[in-house]
Amino acid sequence: MFTRESPSRGAGSPHVLGFWDKPTGSCQYLVWDPATRQAALIDVVQEFDPRAASTRHDAARWALDQIEARGLTLAWILDTHPHADHLMASAWLKERTGVPNAIGEKVTDIARLWEDHYNLPGAFDPAADFDRLLADGETFALGDLTVRVMLHSGHTLGSITYVIGDAAFVHDTFMQPDVGTSRADFPGGNSSELYDSLTSILSLPDETRLFVGHDYGTDDRDDPEWEATVAEHKASNAHMGGGTSRADFIALRDARDATLPLPDRILHALQVNLRAGRLPEPESDGRSYFKIPANRFTDKFKDPTA
């Protein structure tokens, strides 16, 4: 497991352990209040092999082992949005720990959108699968720390950021400064809204540590990275550094997104993640089956090798 730690900076500052899923480039987080040892897990991956449609929970098991080894108490299972490139481990973690899980309240709008894409009316009920559907501006406690929710749409229409002291978990908005930002072309995504979300994040104090949702490395570095400050993004982010205008950002983002193929897990992932990571209900043989729409996204997503 590739990991990096970001120690607490003192009172009101959480300790953050980041861990990385190589197949999807996903950054996952264990964050805790050093004073009370209360912890939250954010965006933990359920491993998935798209060739065999098989699942595992290696990262989630590892995270629970870390919680035990460090003398922490898990208080929250959090996701920032229904991920398109990996299956979430929320339901599995909740089943094994009894700890409440949460996501942004606009997941209900995302569910309605994808029910149409899958032709599965009424298939998803986020209010039943998540204990809390969090609103923009809502707060809750993590030990002595306060977690504040910020709606940051653009990548999806309902993505949220968790701001915990001097740390913000900004999901698929920013990537590392040397990479830029995340795509905005999924159903419900919007590059103009993403620009608003990015500028909102940059309004946080300069010393705020931003923890991103993905890193794939670059030609200049092999190891993944996932932390940089607001000040570093303002100064050198490849897409937003130096005060990029809305028009320039939209042009850049839309042009880049037009070249990106459909992620290989998206059609499997959304029907699981809108159930908090539960597989579809078992059929008469006791097995779960995915429903994959054929040619549903042919016009929107092109194969660049075709």
**pLDDT tens-digit map of 163-180:** 999 999 999 999 999 999
Q: Spell out the residues 6+ positions from residue 158 whose beta carbon is closer than 8 angstroms to its own.
A: 81, 82, 104, 105, 106, 107, 109, 110, 151, 188
- Structural contact between residues 239 and 252, judged by C-beta atoms closer than 8 angstroms: yes
Q: Which helix (H) or strand (E) holds 197?
A: helix 191-202
| Spatial CA neighbour of 191 closest among 235, 259, 248 | 248
Question: How far, in whole angstroms, is CA 152 from its chain's centroid?
Answer: 11
Q: Place 66 in a pLDDT band, splitting at 50, 70 and 90.
A: very high
Per-residue confidence (pLDDT) for residue 105, from 0 to 100 = 98
For the purposes of burial, counting CB atoms within 10 Å of the CB of 282, is it exposed (0-12), middle (13-18) or buried (19 or more)? exposed
Per-residue confidence (pLDDT) for residue 297, from 0 to 100 = 83
Q: What's the whole-number average pLDDT of the chain?
A: 95
Domains parsed from the chain with CATH numbers: 2-273 (3.60.15.10)
Q: What are the distances in angstroms from CA 166 to CA 9, 50, 57, 127, 128?
A: 8, 37, 30, 30, 32
Q: What's the mean pLDDT in 239-262?
A: 95
Q: What's the pTM?
A: 0.95
**Could you say which DSSP state residue 61 is in?**
H
- Give the C-alpha separation, 68 to 43, whole Å: 19
Helices vs. strands in the chain: H and E counts, helices first: 8, 16
Q: For residue 68, is pLDDT > 90?
A: yes
Q: Spell out the residues 6+ positions from residue 277 whose beta carbon is closer than 8 angstroms to its own.
A: 46, 87, 88, 89, 90, 91, 92
Q: Place 262 in a pLDDT band, splitting at 50, 70 and 90.
A: confident
Q: What's the mean pLDDT in 5-24?
A: 97
139-154 burial: b if 16+ Cβ within 10 Å, else e: ebebbebebbbbbbbb
Q: What's the mean pLDDT in 105-131?
A: 96
Per-residue confidence (pLDDT) for residue 26, from 0 to 100 = 98
Q: Spell out the residues 6+ positions from residue 215 whose beta carbon is closer than 8 angstroms to its own.
A: 20, 25, 27, 175, 176, 179, 224, 225, 226
Q: Place 299 in a pLDDT band, splitting at 50, 70 and 90.
A: low
Q: For residue 269, is pLDDT > 50?
A: yes
Backbone angles phi, psi at 231, to 5 degrees: -60, -40
Q: For residue 225, is pLDDT > 90?
A: yes
**Given CA atoms 39, 65, 268, 128 in this order, what sign does their dihedral have?**
negative
Q: What percent of the chain has pLDDT over 90?
A: 92
| Spatial CA neighbour of 265 closest among 64, 3, 26 | 26
Q: Place 6 in a pLDDT band, splitting at 50, 70 and 90.
A: very high
Q: Which residue has the higher pLDDT, 298 or 233?
A: 233
Per-residue confidence (pLDDT) for residue 300, from 0 to 100 = 54
Q: For residue 261, is pLDDT > 90?
A: no
Q: Place 302 in a pLDDT band, splitting at 50, 70 and 90.
A: very low
Per-residue confidence (pLDDT) for residue 55, from 0 to 100 = 98
Q: What's the mean pLDDT in 20-29?
A: 97
Q: For residue 54, is pLDDT > 90?
A: yes
